[in-house]
Amino acid sequence: MEMFREIKEHLIYNLIPFWKNLRDDTYGGFYGRVDSSGKVYPDAEKSCIVNSRILWFFSSCYNLCREGIISENRLSEAGCSSADLIDDARYAFDFLKDAFVDREYGGVVWSVTCDGKMLDTTKHTYNQAFAVYALTAYYEASGDDEAVKLARYIKNSIESHLSDGNGYLDQFSRGFDRVTNDKLSENNVTAERTKNSLINVMEAYTEIFRLTGDIIIKEKIIEILNTLKDRMFNPSKDRLEVFFDRDYNSLIDLHTYGHDIEISWLLDRTLDAIGERDSQPEISEMSRRIADKVKEVAFDGRSVSYECENGVVNPARAWWVQGEAFTGFLNAYMKDRSRTDMLEAAEAVWGFIRDYIIPSTDGPSEWYNEVSADGIPDLTKDIVDLWKGPFHSGRMCIEAIKRYEALGI
């Protein structure tokens, strides 16, 4: 299909060169801020989340090359090579271990100054999980044992300090004392647990298990799946609730469409990775219901709204929501080939991304942060910031490319 060719070319000719150009050869790592006009701010702070996403991105792109999915010739046309990709991944890895890893207290800190000095020393479950997720991708690409050792080091901090035996709490001080969760709380609530942090722990642990076969990690993953099913899923609304107190009481009437459609395909990927698809039919069914609900209430025929709070829809089209909607709808079609409506939805979302969220350029580019339902970009929002890296855009492309042959269309 033409759609998959377009997505592959976008990854090679736009996304990879854009992020290569953000390499900070003065202080290490990659620049932490780019505004909507493309202006780079070399003095901006650098977040561990975005550094982890960059590490994951270059590692994953290198793995596509190693598997023969992306050719050296195509990379060369974009001014790159597979050697460049693994070198950029190694550069991000070095900055992660040198600047973000806290050798005194454990885990990784939230952010550092442009020259790598600790700035925000918050220890957040979401952040720890992303670092582990990225390190496993780098280990797969490089075979560097230091990466998997570091992933286990951070995983141990998650289990030792961020788990209360009933799941995971979100935010802590540098020394792992409980503090208010201001990083992931929003919508006028303060949560102790969030579905967003939990699904990222699930992702990270899934990758550890996939690479190591660690049975204890598999048991943790199954615990997370059961928590999502039994404590976070709302069967009367076919959605996962978002913000919780310590006892898993939902704090707000909020349907986050992007997170739900993302979770729908991540659940299936997790079941496949741990070999439990057939033994966990309730999880697979929950995935289907969540995807169906998002398509029913949030998809307008070409894009997906941001969220709905207390019955009021936020109509913004965030970059990450569209990326996850594409993959979620495509995954739903792959589960049930009779659901051609899901494939058509994925095609429509890609068309919206291509026409409105990717800036009109033939050269290096990253997606706009947010556009209106009519496709008008919000130019006050940066295209690179403390949260926005090459993850949702890059992962959508990588998932599409990897799934194309399996589709047989």
Per CATH, the architecture of 2-407 is what?
Alpha/alpha barrel (1.50)
pLDDT digits (tens, 9 = 90+) for 194-223: 999 999 999 999 999 999 999 999 999 999
pLDDT digits (tens, 9 = 90+) for 296-314: 999 999 999 999 999 999 9
Taking the C-alpha atoms of residue 169 and residue 25, their distance in angstroms, rounded to an integer, is 37
pLDDT digits (tens, 9 = 90+) for 64-122: 999 999 999 999 999 999 999 999 999 999 999 999 999 999 999 999 999 999 999 99
Pairing between β-strand 312-314 and β-strand 307-309 as defined by DSSP bridges: antiparallel
Q: Which two tokens stand for residue 273?
A: 């990775």
What is the phi/psi pair of residue 189, to 5°? Answer: -130, 155
Write down the pLDDT at residue 409.
Answer: 66
Instruction: Give start and end residues of each alpha helix (H) in 21-163.
Output: 48-66, 72-77, 82-95, 125-142, 145-157
Write down the pLDDT at residue 53.
Answer: 98
pLDDT digits (tens, 9 = 90+) for 234-268: 999 999 999 999 999 999 999 999 999 999 999 99
Beta bridge pairs of residue 255 = 308
Taking the C-alpha atoms of residue 380 and residue 401, their distance in angstroms, rounded to an integer, is 32
Count CB atoms within 10 A of the CB of residue 262: 25
Q: What's the whole-model pTM score?
A: 0.97
What is the phi/psi pair of residue 248, to 5°? Answer: 65, 25
CA distances from residue 388 to 35, 160, 174, 183 in whole angstroms, order as listed: 11, 29, 23, 14
Pairing between β-strand 171-172 and β-strand 123-124 as defined by DSSP bridges: antiparallel
Element holding 347 (H helix, E strand): helix 340-352
Q: What is the largest CA-CA distance in the chain?
A: 54
Instruction: Return the half-sphere exposure (C-beta side, CA atoms, 13 A cut-off) of residue 387.
Output: 9
pLDDT surpasses 90 at 406? no
Residue indicated by tokens 């006009």 = 37
Q: What residues contact residue 347 under an 8 Å CB cut-off, 6+ apart?
A: 3
Q: What residues contact residue 390 under an 8 Å CB cut-off, 6+ apart?
A: 15, 18, 19, 53, 54, 57, 366
Taking the C-alpha atoms of residue 317 and residue 321, their distance in angstroms, rounded to an integer, is 7
pLDDT digits (tens, 9 = 90+) for 368-380: 999 999 999 999 9
What does the DSSP assignment read for 4-61?
HHHHHHHIIIIIHHHHHTTB-TTTSSB-S-B-TT--B-TTS-EEHHHHHHHHHHHHHH
Delimit the domains of the chain by residue range.
2-407
